[in-house]
Amino acid sequence: MDPQEIREHVKRIEWFHSIDLGHGIVTPGRDRSSEKLEWIQLPAHLDGCTVLDIGAWDGFFSFEAERRGARRVLAVDSYCWGGEGWGTQGGFNLARRVLSSHVEDCEIEVLDLSPERVGTFDVVLFLGVLYHMKHPQAALLDSWS
């Protein structure tokens, strides 16, 4: 995809995350994701680690984990990708394609996550998800037990 084509695709998506796609193109997201990186203290080097990004949406943190050297990144979402939120998986798919990323994706509910279904991970990101859940206590009490 050439830069003009990328710009045209970016315009068709309502973005939450601001993602640097290269070629001077940054998606017009409303979230301050790059500022959150400092707050969550994501390690600068994730070489060899596996990362699960729950509630990935456009994938900013997933792609950042990959950029920082994670050997496997799985981005999961259901609220946005499944149509309940105002977002879609379109931003994630476009960013993954433009970035030539190997981040995996899976549309799955939080309460359906299990080691048998998605594997185990060194780092789990659970950012901006809990307050969307109908039963947040269930996610905290039942998960991975």
CB of 61 closer than 8 Å to CB of 77? no
Please give the residue that has the higher pLDDT: either 104 or 84: 104
Q: Given pLDDT bands bounded at 50, 70 and 90, which one contains residue 86?
A: confident
Q: What is the pLDDT of residue 108?
A: 93
Q: What is the pLDDT of residue 132?
A: 62
Q: Assess whether pLDDT exceeds 80 at residue 106.
A: yes
Distances in whole angstroms, Cα of residue 85 to Cα of each of 88, 93, 114, 129, 132? 8, 17, 23, 11, 9
Q: What is the pLDDT of residue 137?
A: 66
Residue 128 amino acid letter: G
Could you tell me the domains of the chain?
Answer: 3-142 (3.40.50.150)
pLDDT tens-digit series, residues 30-39: 999 989 998 9
pTM for the full predicted model = 0.89
DSSP classification of residue 45: -
Q: Assess whether pLDDT exceeds 90 at residue 95.
A: yes
Radius of gyration of the chain (CA): 15
Q: Which two tokens stand for residue 94?
A: 């476009």
